[in-house]
Amino acid sequence: MEKPQLEKLCYSTRQLVAEVGSFIKKQVGKVDENSIETKSKNSLVSYVDKTAEQRLVSGLQARLDGAAFLTEEETIVASEGTYQWIIDPLDGTTNFLHELPIFSISIALRFENQIIMGIVYEVNKEECFYAYRGGGAWLNDQKISVSDNTVFEDGLIATGFPYYDFEHMDAYFGVLRNFVERTRGIRRLGSAAVDLAYVACGRFDGYFEYSLNAWDVAAGIILVEEAGGKVSDFYGGNNYLFGKNIVVGTKTTHETMLKTIGQHFVKA
């Protein structure tokens, strides 16, 4: 897809995402406890997630005919294709259900094996982070970039606490302790997509987490890359979309984080 076409598709998709975001925002505080489902340990879903995903899939089908989909709530059968949309309709469902104002919509477009477009829409602040390959990273029409901080000790790091996979707890807390002692602080917002977007715009200097799915990180990956940041898996490789772990940051921060993570997480 040529750059002008990609830019046009990105603009159109942002409009769709804003519309669905408005729907989600209107549902805050309206979900009855009895209508909340538990998909797996500490993984919740409601009609809001499902309806949002249905609206996104319908809108995206109209925008790019024949594209495949990978969706969290399985509105449409996950499939492979030349173009593939990767969707998380409500990243931060637990926050949403507890009325904690940090949750987002995350949409990425993958061409063959490369993510070529990503949008993260933080619903409460109505902040739309978006990027397309070769077009830079943006927040509500303002260009963004990763932090220019070069001192790790001055950095603010984001993470996500393990909530169902506790196999690597000792390694995780070893890394966490190191970062707590060496940085300005650690933050856990509850939405991986927002964490990545915040690295892209310089609010966070770095982010790491394990036990993630592709829809959690796909859009954020291109945001960070187009904003000048570094992305890898815990072992410095490129298996971060489907590999269940990711570390991102500025060049300086990423290098330091990767070294520390490597001291605790041993590659199988």
152-264 has which fold?
A: D-Maltodextrin-Binding Protein; domain 2 (3.40.190)
pLDDT at 266: 86
Q: Distance between CA atoms of 129 and 127, rounded to whole angstroms?
A: 6
Please give the residue that has the higher pLDDT: either 28 or 162: 28
For 222-239, b/e burial (b = at least 16 CB within 10 A) is bbbbbbbbbbbbbbeeee
pLDDT at 42 over 60: no
pLDDT in tens, 128-142: 999 999 999 999 999
Average pLDDT, the chain: 93
CA atoms lying within 13 Å on the CB side of residue 53: 24
Q: Distance between CA atoms of 61 and 183, rounded to whole angstroms?
A: 44
pTM equals 0.95
pLDDT at 164: 75
DSSP codes joined into one string, 172-197: HHHHHHHHHHHSSEEE--S-HHHHHH
The yes or no reply on domain 3-144 and CATH 3.30.540.10 is: yes
CA 146 to chain centre: 15
Give the start-to-end residue ranges of the domains of the chain: 3-144, 152-264
Helix axes 251-264, 169-182, angle to 10 degrees: 140
pLDDT in tens, 192-212: 999 999 999 999 999 999 999
How far are the Cα atoms of 2, 65, 90, 203 from residue 50, in angstroms, in the given order?
A: 32, 22, 9, 30
Please give the residue that has the higher pLDDT: either 147 or 45: 147
